[in-house]
Amino acid sequence: MRYLPLSDADRSAMLEKVGAKSANDLFRDVPQGLLLKEPIDGLPLHASEMAVERELSAMARKNMVAGDVPFFLGCGAYKHHVPATVDHIIQRGEFLTAYTPYQPEIAQGTLQVLFEFQTQVARLLGCEVANASMYDGSTACWEAIGMARRITRKSKAIISAGLHPHYVSVCKTMAKFTGDTLETELPGLEAATDAERLIASIDGETSCVVVQYPDILGRITDLTPIAEAAQAKGALLIAVVTEPVALGAIKSPGEMGADIVVGEGQSIGVGLQFGGPYVGLFATREKYVRQMPGRLAGETVDAEGKRGFVLTLSTREQHIRREKATSNICTNSGLCALAFSIHMTLLGEKGLTGLAQLNHARAREAAERLGAIPGVRLVNDSYFNEFTLELPVEARPAVHAMVEKGVLGGVSLGRLYPCADSLKNGIVVAVTEVVSDADIDALEAALMEVCK
């Protein structure tokens, strides 16, 4: 038991000190018959580090590793190159094994990082303030709808057809219990987004309009007219960014008038990890900060007048407000926020714009070649590093057929919208800086084969 420092001699001496006859004697409040005297039946006993490593490695080997094959999956999680520095720093014990910075005098490292993170996120999303992170993009999206309800005192949310369907699912789950009504539609395989429908749908009952940017099919739409239309009716515009690298190339939602901007920060500094942990981004206008969920780090001074940072505005939070809190959220995604912040610091404006341009250039090359395959149609007029193709065949089996050829070729819309017949030939292809010329060759060849 390599993680337990007490020796049997320690245990005996300590039991004597506390006046107990045995360890089980300390559990005397447990009702008779319910205290387990032996290890639970059918479960293995302790194992050496080497044995555990062997068992985990065997499971890991059964998975197809993104970095080992031509890889084109996106739709809310993206494969980017993460500099080696990031993973080194987040494994420093002082960051890895610290708790929530409730004792600021000995947590300035975490607190200053969170203050820097908030500033980076606010600037990237084009907003005045950002919080210290949420669980992920989908839960941040839901929290934004709840925040809009509190601000506007209305409860009808108009959801763009371009919002990630899993995000819609999360919002629907929550709305069942809060009484919000959500208006949603399926996307169409066309270049135009549903911006006009959204604008036409806004009425006096609307709390918010929720628009993903770029959207689930990779399309980019100008948010300015939607923001103006929403605000004219007393509603808020919530913009959702699932690929923050895009904001190194395209205007930020805040610049276009979004009131709340949420996002999935995974692309920057956080690996794919089969879906989590990720890091939710949440930014808004300064006037709404007291309605914002989640932790906030703020600047102050210590007893000697030195600058320092603390968690602040906690009167919004559950440990103070209990049932009146803005959210029940208690953790943030601290270590992932740190990874995001380190990566963003290494990038800076110069690196971020370079990265974004490289992604866009790669995606253009791929889109032009794949869109030229006979029978294949490029749906998008606009895109950043992700676009949708309409295949002459159903996309879901095509994706599986490409796996047989060792290519992870994209996300079929059949996977995301299993009941939508109109979308079944659609496939979303993401092309980031990690994609090589040979990878594009492989995808092109595989697609040609499956589209025959």
Partner 1 sequence: MTVATESKPASPNPSGWRPSAPVAGEGITAPTVTGNRALMLEEPLLFEIGSRGQTGVDFEARPGGSSRLGGLERQGVDLPGLSEPEAVRHYTRLSRQNYAIDLGLFPLGSCTMKHNPRLNEKMARLPGFADIHPLQPQETVQGALELINKLAFWLIDLTGMHGVAMSPKAGAHGELCGLLCIRAALEARGDARQVVLVPESAHGTNPATAAFCGYRVENIPATKAGRVDLEALKARLGPDVAAVMITNPNTCGLFEPDMKAISDAVHAAGAFVYCDGANFNAIVGKVRPGDLGVDAMHINLHKTFSTPHGGGGPGSGPVVLSEALAPYGPLPFAAKFPDGSYKLVEEETAGDEHPDAFGRMVAFHGQMGMFTRALTYILSHGADGLAQVAEDSVLNANYILRSLEDVLDAPFAVSGPCMHEAIFSDKGFAEGFSTIDVAKALIDEGFHPMTMYFPLVVHGAMLVEPTETESRANLDQFIAALRSIADRAKAGDQALKAAPIYAPRRRLDETQAARKPVLTYDNPAPDGSSTGLGAHFGGG
Q: Which residues 64-103 are close enough to bind partner 1 by CB under 8 A?
A: 64-68, 71, 73, 75-77, 79, 83, 85, 87-103
Q: Which residue has the tokens 């659609």?
A: 426
Cβ nearer to partner 1, comparing 231 with 345: 345
Residues 273-292 that bind partner 1 (CB under 8 A): 273-277, 279, 286, 289
Residues 419-438 that bind partner 1 (CB under 8 A): 419, 433
Under a CB-based contact definition with an 8 Å cutoff, are residues 236 and 259 in contact? Answer: yes
Cβ nearer to partner 1, comparing 59 with 438: 59
Please report how close the Cβ of residue 386 comes to partner 1 at its closest, in angstroms.
11
| Measured distance CA(151)–CA(149) in Å, rounded | 5
Binding-site size for partner 1 (CB under 8 A) equals 214
Using CB under 8 A, which of 403, 445, 448, 451 touches partner 1?
Answer: 403
Cβ nearer to partner 1, comparing 203 with 258: 258
Residues 201-220 that bind partner 1 (CB under 8 A): 219-220
Q: Which residue has the tokens 């009131």?
A: 259
Please report how close the Cβ of residue 91 comes to partner 1 at its closest, in angstroms.
6
| Measured distance CA(336)–CA(342) in Å, rounded | 10
Under a CB-based contact definition with an 8 Å cutoff, are residues 241 and 179 in contact? Answer: no
Please report how close the Cβ of residue 444 comes to partner 1 at its closest, in angstroms.
19
Output b/e per residue, 293-327; b: 16+ Cβ within 10 A.
bbbbbeeeeeeeeeebbbbeeeebbbeeeeeebbb
Please report how close the Cβ of residue 292 comes to partner 1 at its closest, in angstroms.
10
Say which amino acid occupies 88.
Answer: H
Residues 3-32 that bind partner 1 (CB under 8 A): 3-6, 10-11, 13-15, 17-20, 23, 25-31
| Measured distance CA(285)–CA(253) in Å, rounded | 12
- Listed ranges 148-156, 196-204, 318-326, 438-446: which one lies at the site for partner 1 (CB under 8 A): 318-326
Task: Identify the sign of the CA torsion 397, 398, 400, 404.
Answer: positive
Work out whether 135 is an interface residue with partner 1 (CB under 8 A): yes
The tokens of 147 are what? Answer: 């925040």
| Measured distance CA(18)–CA(121) in Å, rounded | 51
Residues 221-260 that bind partner 1 (CB under 8 A): 221-222, 247-252, 254-255
